[in-house]
Chains A and B, each alone.
Chain A
Amino acid sequence: MRAAATTPTAVRPLLGTPSLTRAALVIGGGLALLVVVVVLAVALGSVQVGLGDTTAILGRRLLGLPLPVTWTPVTETIIVDLRLPRVLTAMLVGGGLAMAGTVFQALLRNPLADPYIIGTAAGASLGAVSGIVLPLLVPALAIGAGSTWLGIGIVQLLAFVGGLGTVLLVYAVARSAGRVQVVTLLLTGYAVSAVLAAVVAMLMFVSGRALGAIFGWLMGSLADASWPELAFAAPLLVVSFAALLVRWRRLNLLLLGDAAAASLGLEVEREKLVLTVLATLATSAAVAISGTIGFVGLVVPHLLRLAIGPDHRLLLPASLLLGASLLALADLGARLLGGIPVGIVTALIGAPFFLWLLRRSRTVVPVPS
């Protein structure tokens, strides 16, 4: 760990050091985009609210500016209680998925890795679907179905626990002789996911009238976003963001391979576990309040590696900012298209964009290994 504190000279040519102006440009640009997207996504919706009123309401409520009230309470409810929590949820979820995707791609040295790859999606889905279906099958459970724990519903709580628990299980199964081989981890995740997916399919088969709700959850939707759900997920996400951001140097070292990283003084096995837990914490918290939204966590890291290179010092914060903006925009699209699940939008736009990116770059920098 000590040795990792300074990047060894051997690594420098490969990664380069971001200049201060370059970093300021990337982060500043990302922040500016984020602000524009917040205002845009809050201003637009199925009910028309003027841009002036929107910014004034945001200014009053978020910044405490003493602006004159020129709007009805109904307008304020729509902006503050319906759109704002939804946009902020989209941003936290999008940022979390993009950042977790960046981490998993580096950790697993696999360009196909996304935040869900080692079981988060399957585990969270099983948790959520159980939360939806079990009260229907066992009427005694229905009594508690409407109640909430920690401010969130049973579905969200089970999704969170399911995602986190599955990854820990996969990790434990994949571990042998104190080491976790990347390939073993991927294959174990695949196999465990397949089992859980079968259980999910079985629950869907017997779900009857709840099928619509399950389908919406699996497609990923932000329609139920609310302040209490945000209050549950935001601290988990923010803490994992911070813990991941400061680990940029270790991620850079891991790109060199386990042996090289170890020879440079990194406690490889311990670091892999810590990074997996942190990225999974962010993913599970995101999935719990949004369902399984695809492509954001896969495409954003690749896009940014092409644009600004593979150094995680810049890549991590940039993926956070871009993921946040993109998912908020995708959700705006989903809302304007009549409230379709946002996962449909991210897949419809994300996948072709990814193909275009692949063809354009040829070399496919994705993850240097």
Chain B
Amino acid sequence: MKGNGITMTLRPRLLALFVPILLVGCSVSPSPTRTSGPTPTLATTPTAAPSVAAPYPVTLTDDAGRSVTLVAAPQRIVSLAPSNTEIVCALGACADLVGVTDFDDYPPEVADVDRVVVGAQVDVEKVVAADPDLVIAAGNELTPSAVIGQLSGLDLPVLVLYPETLDEIYADIELVGAALDVTAAADELTALMQARVAAVEARLTGAERPRTFYEVGIFAGTIYTAGQGSFLASLLETAGAEPVTGDAVSTSIQLEDLVVADPQLILLGDAAYDGSITPESVADRQGWAGIGAVRDGRVVVFEEDLVVTRPGPRIVDGLEALARAIHPELFD
């Protein structure tokens, strides 16, 4: 379980951290004005107005810049990424899911939904057999572009989501809301998320920012962390840290650079999957004993790793957990 858990969960996540991608921001096209819902504290992309008349057919622009037309409200949804699944379920459409991935573990209702992505491979036959009227894929090759092309070629509407910031997550929730004609629910959800983020930020006002190293994993001696400019790095900043980042493309950092950066706090994200990684084992590592965080005993197991790396509604849980781990004194 231990070993498996690590490779299974880390592989796609590492991929997600590779190379910040050049995707266009998303937009929802029917109507650019927000007519209801609380005022957001952060700027978001314009969202569709909830309309009384049936909004279909609706044409949406996804995160890959593709135009997707839905002729009727989707009744059979296939999700090709756990974050997509969580968005669909948070908007109350969990019962409409007819296909998910074998990484899907939240919410519990999805346990019984057919798995159409097995071992990180999209089984196109199973997707087609599920007879979906909406497929929600992931960008940045998490869903291979060949698969997206193959499914679109069979006239299946494929919506590609690839959020890279909190704002883009809100926009993607609004986008799915527009696709499912539940824009009011989407407005409500994003407003709630924004309010929680604002609360975290308010509490952190004026707090000092400890240099924080987030350990994503160590494979074959290579240390992986938040890449420079990555989503994880920006999340750490929002959570009140000054992240010690790795290379933007490989997301790795050399041990020498880590020692020089001398983090004041080390968060062990990989310890959530591997019980053998503990503050004690970190202190025993060759060359780590001189790092400030290790000397001061500020090496912390971070159990909520999954929610900081899954760009869905629970990202705010991840942010709150990060803030709590970085500034325990402010959150007790």
On whether the two chains bind one another, the answer is yes
A238 interface hit (Cβ, 8 Å): no
| Contact in complex: B144, A213 (CB < 8 Å) | yes
| Contact in complex: A226, B129 (CB < 8 Å) | no
- Measured CB to CB, the nearest residue on chain A to B119 is A338
Distance in angstroms from B33 CB to nearest chain A CB is: 31
**Among the listed B123, B124, B129, B146, which residue makes an inter-chain contact with A74, where contact means beta carbons less than 8 Å apart?**
B129
B282 interface hit (Cβ, 8 Å): no
B221 interface hit (Cβ, 8 Å): no
| Contact in complex: A224, B19 (CB < 8 Å) | no
Tally of contact residues, B, Cβ under 8 A: 26
B73 interface hit (Cβ, 8 Å): no
| Contact in complex: A339, B22 (CB < 8 Å) | no
Q: Write out, one digit per residue, whether chain B residues 97-137 have a CB within 8 A of any chain A CB (1) or not (0).
A: 00000000000000000000011010111101101000000
A82 interface hit (Cβ, 8 Å): yes
User: In whole angstroms, how far apart are the Cα atoms of A306 and B124 in the complex?
Assistant: 40
**Among the listed B123, B128, B153, which residue makes an inter-chain contact with A339, where contact means beta carbons less than 8 Å apart?**
B123
User: In whole angstroms, how far apart are the Cα atoms of A82 and B149 in the complex?
Assistant: 13
A52 interface hit (Cβ, 8 Å): no
A357 interface hit (Cβ, 8 Å): no
Chain A, 102-146, CB within 8 A of any chain B CB: 136, 139, 142, 146
| Contact in complex: B124, A82 (CB < 8 Å) | yes
B15 interface hit (Cβ, 8 Å): yes
**Among the listed A83, A210, A212, A224, which residue makes an inter-chain contact with B150, where contact means beta carbons less than 8 Å apart?**
A224
A274 interface hit (Cβ, 8 Å): no
| Contact in complex: A74, B125 (CB < 8 Å) | no
| Contact in complex: A82, B128 (CB < 8 Å) | yes
| Contact in complex: A77, B141 (CB < 8 Å) | no
Residues of B within 8 A of A213 (CB): 141, 144-146
| Contact in complex: A223, B19 (CB < 8 Å) | no
User: In whole angstroms, how far apart are the Cα atoms of A74 and B76 in the complex?
Assistant: 14
| Contact in complex: B15, A212 (CB < 8 Å) | yes
User: In whole angstroms, how far apart are the Cα atoms of A74 and B131 in the complex?
Assistant: 7
**Among the listed A139, A142, A212, which residue makes an inter-chain contact with B141, where contact means beta carbons less than 8 Å apart?**
A212
A13 interface hit (Cβ, 8 Å): no
User: In whole angstroms, how far apart are the Cα atoms of A257 and B146 in the complex?
Assistant: 46
| Contact in complex: B153, A226 (CB < 8 Å) | yes
| Contact in complex: A209, B140 (CB < 8 Å) | yes
- Measured CB to CB, the nearest residue on chain A to B251 is A208
Distance in angstroms from A222 CB to nearest chain B CB is: 11
Chain A, 205-228, CB within 8 A of any chain B CB: 208-210, 212-213, 223-224, 226
Q: Write out, one digit per residue, whether chain B residues 313-328 have a CB within 8 A of any chain A CB (1) or not (0).
A: 0000000000000000
User: In whole angstroms, how far apart are the Cα atoms of A146 and B19 in the complex?
Assistant: 19
**Among the listed B126, B144, B149, which residue makes an inter-chain contact with A46, where contact means beta carbons less than 8 Å apart?**
B126
B18 interface hit (Cβ, 8 Å): yes
User: In whole angstroms, how far apart are the Cα atoms of A338 and B120 in the complex?
Assistant: 10
Distance in angstroms from B328 CB to nearest chain A CB is: 35
A78 interface hit (Cβ, 8 Å): yes
Q: Given A223-B146, A226-B153: A208 and B126 within 8 A (CB)?
A: no
| Contact in complex: A210, B141 (CB < 8 Å) | yes
| Contact in complex: A338, B118 (CB < 8 Å) | yes
A47 interface hit (Cβ, 8 Å): yes
User: In whole angstroms, how far apart are the Cα atoms of A205 and B217 in the complex?
Assistant: 20
Most A CB contacts (10 A, CB to CB) among B128, B129, B144, B149 go to: B129
B72 interface hit (Cβ, 8 Å): no
Residues of B within 8 A of A81 (CB): 153-154
| Contact in complex: B128, A74 (CB < 8 Å) | yes
Distance in angstroms from A7 CB to nearest chain B CB is: 48
Q: List 17 A-B contacts (CB under 8 A).
A: A46-B126, A47-B129, A74-B129, A78-B125, A78-B128, A81-B153, A82-B125, A82-B128, A142-B22, A208-B18, A208-B249, A209-B140, A210-B141, A213-B146, A224-B146, A339-B118, A339-B121
Q: Which 3 A-B pairs have the closest CB atoms?
A: A209-B18, A208-B19, A47-B129
